Structure 1
Amino acid sequence: MPYTTGSKVISGGEAPGHLTYHSPISPSLPGGDPRDALLKAPLSTYQRVAIAVTVMLCALDGFDVLAVTYAAPGFLTEWGLNSGQLGIALSMGLVGMALGSFLLAPLADRIGRRRMIFVCLAIMAGGMAASALAGSLGALAFWRIITGVGIGAMICVINPLAAEYANERRRDLAIALMAVGYPIGGTVGGILSAHLLELYDWRAIFWLGAGLALAMVPLVIRWIPEPVGYLIENPGPDALEKVNRFLRRCHLPETDRLPAPSPRQRKAPLAEIFSPAMRRQTLHLTTIYALYLMTVYFFLSWTPQLVADLGFSAAVSATVAVTRDTAGIVGGVALGWAAHYLGLKRLALAVLAGMGLTLILFGRLPADLDALRITAALAGLCLYGGMISLYAVIARTFPTHVRASGTGFVIGVGRVTSAMAPLLGGFLFDIGLDRGGVTTLLACGALVAAGLMLAYRVRPIGAE
């Protein structure tokens, strides 16, 4: 029989003098699965702060992606670039993001989520600083690819982190909050960049990005532990100590032993997500995500121009895009909260179909600014609601030991289609289609994605 002395537990089955430390504020639950305890217990302050840090990391991603667009007028003038050359600079970050999703993110399932975040922050800080020092288009393009690798891997790591830190009741909300960090980072970054450009040249924007990445390091050290699920599936010599440290911080009972990892064949994570047991769901979900992003990135890229084509000024057109993003941020959080009550699949079906329908309507509206803003707000609600829903579905689909790899593959394919969407829109306009025709064709991606979601089995939390 074990007995306690203060905050120490001495087990009669252990060698004399061997002490195992447990929390003085809670008893030990021998053999209990800590994952079950974390799923059922209320969120602790520690978990809430950890989720908030993932929001900040996603906001950093959002700023780093758009930093080159804020800096573009400056280096365009300084280097005398034409529009085609500018397009190269703008697209290289997306190339890097796809590479990061495919190649770097799967390593998080081997070396750990926490370590991979440090790798991503180092790449992003170095890439942003080197971009600030670039003296030519070629150098800037190269460093945007490098920065994009870190950005692309980061989002694939923090998505499972937000899910794994949350309990069952608030997991979908945690993913929603993490996801809206992206547009928040882009919006706040744009405001900060505007002030910087009043005082300095375009290089200050990249220096800001490098500084923000370094500023995140102490927050990650303090508030981002390795998730309990990962430690159980990838047990190391100190896994039990790390799990109990996490449980203590969450004010939960400790455990005296960890459950055995799930039985599985030892193979590369990317190979496992295409094993016979997972191949169908991987391809099904990837197709849904890729088609939806085709619609999303067309609308994100072309909203101002679609409004300007009706005769409005560039400034007025930009306000429609701001309305879209503001409604998306606020509505996205609300939908993430509602997912627990409405059901994730129902919510995903509604917002994916809603995105397609509102885009068709937006493309057929007359030059009525109020109608355009209202429709853009509805579209933004569906747009970000769809992204949040799909992030939550991804987190539920892949088991812990391949979650970063599965997330990386799905998002990586989506990066490819998102890069194609603006180009496809331009091509359709060039061959003579009008606003209504182009928006209707590009809306089909979201509508087909909704149809495919109808046949997709969304697993309950904890069943993955």
Structure 2
Amino acid sequence: MKRASVSDVQSFIDERPFGHFQRLIFFMCFVIVLLDGFDTAAIGFIAPSLLGEWHLARPDLAPVLSAALFGLAFGALVSGPLSDRVGRRSLMIGSVFLFGVACVASAFSDNIGQLTALRFMTGIGLGGAMANAVTMMDEFCPTRRRATVTSLMCCGFPLGAALGGLLAAWLVPHAGWRSVLMLGGVTPILHGALLVVKMPESVRFMVANGKPVARIRAVLSRISADAIGVRGFAMTESAPATGHNGIGLVLSRSYIVGSVMLWIAAFMGLLIIYALFNWMPILLRDAGLSLKSATLISALFPLGGVGAVLCGALMDRFNANLVIATCYALAAVSLFCIGATAAHVLLLVPSVLVSGVLMNTAQASMNALAAAFYPTEGRGTGVAWMLGMARFGGIAGSFLVAELMRSHFTLVGFFATIAVAGALACIALLIKQVAPPQVFSAAPEGIRSLSH
């Protein structure tokens, strides 16, 4: 059979339906993000139990609540450049096993120091897994559906966090807080085994790095048998060429303004989210709710992340920067309303849910925004570094609430303070919109063929 000469790999994906093989990749990446959300939020839901068992003061929880976030930041910042060098698949699988084993070990902690160290190790794995899952899914998506599919996948994070709250509300009274961590560790270990068997390497990464065309054809043939008749594969990027890879591209003159604005918006978003993930159950307990009610109402906040599906669809049709900026602006308004309704459960429940929809929708959609912003040579680093910088926002959120509690802020004052972060995220994306990458040079991608 005579082979066609050369096919552009993205055009090959774009011209075919989102089929069974891509849905399998979506499922595997979605589960990674789901487990990331579960394990990240688990510590907040077991925090009230730690206070009693280990006789801690509330501010004593700040280090353990933020330990995983330090690990997440470190894991994302390191894994991004590595994935642009060695590939998405190996970093993803290793990261999943790491956070699973560390989470299981944390269930056997005897004191706050041990738990803090193991949560840091858990975070390193979480940071690498999440960043590579986003990049992998983006690179297997048709361009016309990229934001929708990536945002849908990222809904796994808030859903996982909400699932953590619902399961913790049942598990902690019946089996203790350690059972939550055990569940959060065993599940990713089992999923890691599936990844070893089923997860392919990114075809865009393989083309960009000159991998053997037979490997590329083998993966693409699972999308369509048409790939069997193609002699070689090329790749073109609509983004500006810079002559750099990885960190050099992310920090290049073409991309630096957009990169910094993505970091600021993601930082502010996770400041809000982790402040509420980690502290809302305690804050609502202090407002007079029972432990079970405080846990269940707090679980409504991450559940709101399912709105990212609609946001992704809007991003595929309209200006993505402006869509997410609008979500952040409305989230800032709704967050302020939570403090004013805390004394009235019937008003508090919808307030928490609406703010969760807006806030988690905006934050989950940031992953698709970053993945679309960078070309293949720097996408792994760009997405991972945005996520890494965002985790520092989560760290800041944990310590910010501790300081506000020391200063005896009221609930109204607390939510008014963190609402400012939502406004700053909105402003950052508006700046990114008016300062897009500038094309200083342009060069076509090399052709990857049988000769490689």
TM-score interval (norm. to shorter): 0.7 to 0.9
Unaligned 5+ segments in structure 2 are: 446-452
Aligned residue type for 1:422: S
Aligned counterparts of 1:306 and 1:375: Cα–Cα separation in 2: 15
Q: CA deviation at 1:78?
A: 5.7
In terms of mean alpha carbon deviation, does 55-64 or 211-220 score higher?
A: 211-220
Paired residues of 1:94 and 1:148 also in contact (CA < 8 A) = yes
Counting only pairs closer than 5 Å after superposition, residues 5-20 of structure 1 correspond to structure 2 as 9=2
Residue 398 to residue 260, structure 1, CA distance change in 2 (3 Å): closer
Corresponding residue of 2:431: 455
Corresponding residue of 2:251: 274
Corresponding residue of 1:348: 324
Residue 116 to residue 331, structure 1, CA distance change in 2 (3 Å): same
Q: CA deviation at 1:393?
A: 1.0
Corresponding residue of 1:178: 153
Aligned residue type for 2:275: F
Paired residues of 2:45 and 2:295 also in contact (CA < 8 A) = no
Q: Which structure has the bigger radius of gyration?
A: 1
Paired residues of 1:232 and 1:261 also in contact (CA < 8 A) = no
Encode CA deviations 1:1-59: one digit per residue, 9 max, x unaligned.
xxx2xxxx4xxxxxxxxxxxxxxxxxx54212021121242201110121111110111
The reply to whether residue 46 of structure 1 matches residue 35 of structure 2 is no
Paired residues of 1:29 and 1:253 also in contact (CA < 8 A) = no
Residue 320 to residue 291, structure 1, CA distance change in 2 (3 Å): same
Corresponding residue of 2:223: 250
Aligned counterparts of 1:198 and 1:320: Cα–Cα separation in 2: 17
Residue 445 to residue 137, structure 1, CA distance change in 2 (3 Å): closer
Encode CA deviations 1:173-204: one digit per residue, 9 max, x unaligned.
21122211112223334445566556655444
Counting only pairs closer than 5 Å after superposition, residues 272-351 of structure 1 correspond to structure 2 as 272-304=249-281, 307=284, 311-326=288-303, 328-351=304-327
Aligned counterparts of 2:373 and 2:47: Cα–Cα separation in 1: 39
Counting only pairs closer than 5 Å after superposition, residues 32-431 of structure 1 correspond to structure 2 as 32-69=7-44, 81-192=56-167, 200=175, 202-236=177-211, 238=212, 240-251=213-224, 253-254=226-227, 255-259=230-234, 265=243, 269-304=246-281, 307=284, 311-326=288-303, 328-365=304-341, 367-431=343-407
Q: CA deviation at 1:314?
A: 4.1
Q: CA deviation at 1:320?
A: 3.0
Residue 40 to residue 119, structure 1, CA distance change in 2 (3 Å): same
Residue 343 to residue 412, structure 1, CA distance change in 2 (3 Å): same
Aligned counterparts of 2:433 and 2:283: Cα–Cα separation in 1: 36
In terms of mean alpha carbon deviation, does 105-114 or 201-210 score higher?
A: 201-210
Q: What percent of counterpart residues are identical?
A: 24
The alignment's TM-score, normalised by the length of structure 2, stands at 0.85
In terms of mean alpha carbon deviation, does 328-337 or 375-384 score higher?
A: 328-337
Paired residues of 2:62 and 2:402 also in contact (CA < 8 A) = no
Q: CA deviation at 1:394?
A: 0.7
Paired residues of 1:102 and 1:408 also in contact (CA < 8 A) = yes
Residue 143 to residue 424, structure 1, CA distance change in 2 (3 Å): closer
In terms of mean alpha carbon deviation, does 449-458 or 309-318 score higher?
A: 309-318
Encode CA deviations 1:323-374: one digit per residue, 9 max, x unaligned.
3333x13323333334323442332122111111111222334733332222
Aligned counterparts of 1:422 and 1:157: Cα–Cα separation in 2: 25
Aligned residue type for 1:142: A
Paired residues of 1:295 and 1:445 also in contact (CA < 8 A) = yes
Paired residues of 2:285 and 2:291 also in contact (CA < 8 A) = yes
Residue 382 to residue 29, structure 1, CA distance change in 2 (3 Å): farther
Corresponding residue of 2:450: none
Identify the match of residue 411 of structure 2 among 421, 435, 439: 435
Paired residues of 2:281 and 2:298 also in contact (CA < 8 A) = yes
Aligned counterparts of 1:301 and 1:58: Cα–Cα separation in 2: 18
Paired residues of 1:299 and 1:359 also in contact (CA < 8 A) = no
SS of corresponding position for 1:455: helix
Q: CA deviation at 1:163?
A: 1.3
Q: CA deviation at 1:82?
A: 4.9
Encode CA deviations 1:223-280: one digit per residue, 9 max, x unaligned.
32112211111122x2x1222122211125222112268776466x223311222222
Unaligned 5+ segments in structure 1 are: 10-27
Encode CA deviations 1:116-136: one digit per residue, 9 max, x unaligned.
012102311331233234444
In terms of mean alpha carbon deviation, does 29-38 or 430-439 score higher?
A: 430-439
Aligned residue type for 1:116: L
Aligned counterparts of 2:169 and 2:415: Cα–Cα separation in 1: 31
Residue 294 to residue 199, structure 1, CA distance change in 2 (3 Å): closer
Aligned counterparts of 1:191 and 1:357: Cα–Cα separation in 2: 27
Residue 85 to residue 401, structure 1, CA distance change in 2 (3 Å): same
Residue 284 to residue 71, structure 1, CA distance change in 2 (3 Å): closer
Residue 314 to residue 351, structure 1, CA distance change in 2 (3 Å): same
Paired residues of 1:40 and 1:168 also in contact (CA < 8 A) = no
Aligned counterparts of 1:59 and 1:45: Cα–Cα separation in 2: 21
Aligned counterparts of 2:225 and 2:277: Cα–Cα separation in 1: 44
